[in-house]
Structure 1
Amino acid sequence: MSDITRRRILAASGVVATGAVAGCLGGSAEADGNGDSESASSSGTVLGNITVENLADQSHTVDVIVEFDGEIEDWSTHELAADDGDSELERNWPTTAGSFRVRARLDTERLIEVTPATWNDPDCLNLLVLVDRAGELTIWSDPGGGPCGDDGAAVVEDEDGEN
C-alpha cells in the first residue's frame, strides 16, 4: 500500500475542485484594493429607465432607492394595485456613467440590491422592478431601449451558446 491516506486524497481533490470552479465564479476584473472589482470599463454604467410593475393578484407597496457614489439620488414609494400596469420612475439621478446601486423593497420586507456588476457592467442599463404572479420581488435588466438605445433586451448565454 502507498503512504497516501484517504484524508490526503480528499483534501487534494477539494483543492483541485475549488481551483477549477474559482475561474467560473470570478470575473477577469482586478480588485481595486477595497475588495471591490473594477470592470474593464472604469468609466461606469449609465442608469437608464427604471420601471415598476405588479403582476400579482393583490396590491403591493414597492420602495425603490437609487444611489450614486454612496449618495441617495432618488427614493420613491409606489402603491401598486393588483395586476396593475407598469409605472416608470422619473429620472432624478445622473444621466452620465457612474457607480450606482438600486435597492428595492416589497411591503416592508428586506431590501434587495443590484449593481451594474450584477450584469457584467454594461455601458447602459434599464431596470424592471417586478412583483411577479407569486408575489415575489425581482429586478430584471435591459441594456437596450430607452436611454440605452434601440437594440432590445440582451440575452446572456453560457459558453456553449445556450441560454
Structure 2
Amino acid sequence: MSSPRDLSTPLGRARMLLAMLAVPKLRAGIGRMLAGDGAPEAPDVHGPLSQLDWLGADGQVDDAALRESAEAIALMRSSEAILEVSRLDGIPVKTEESRQVSGRIARIVFERVGAERTLTEGELNAAIAMFAADVALVRRDAVDSGVLERSTDGAAYRLAAD
C-alpha cells in the first residue's frame, strides 16, 4: 500500500488564497496581478501576495499548481480522504482543544461503526488508531468531555446520548 500523499502544500495554497480573497486590498492586488499589471508596491500588500507560489508578478499562472490544489480539495471532500492522509501524530496541548479533537475522532468512529454499538476497549483502540497515534489520550479525552461513556469496569465504550 502506498503511503499517504502530502497534501499540505496544495491545501495550504488553497487556504492562503481564500484568506487573501477575504481581504479587499489583497483581492484587488491579486486581480491586478492576474490582469498583468504587476504586483502592488505597498509592503502590506506586496509581502502577502509574494507568498502565492502559483502567481507571478507578471500575471503568469502556474496551472499545474492550481490543478494540484483543486484535486487536493476534491480528494478531501471524498470518501477516499481517509486513505490519503496520515493519522495525527500529536493532539493539541490545551485541554479544551484536545478534548474537541478527541471528541470529533470518537464521533467519527461511531458514525462508521454505528452510533448504537458498544465497543470493547480493544475495538475502540483499533478504530482510534486509524486517526491518532496517542490512542489512550483520545479515548480518555472523549470520556472526560462526555462524548463517550465507559462501563464501570472500563472494558466497554459507547457514544453518549446527545
Length-normalised TM-score, structure 1: 0.22
TM-score, normalised to structure 2, is 0.22
Between Structure 1 and Structure 2, which shows a larger proportion of strand residues?
1
Q: Tell me: higher relative CO, structure 1 or 2? Use CA pairs within 8 A at least 6 residues apart.
A: 1
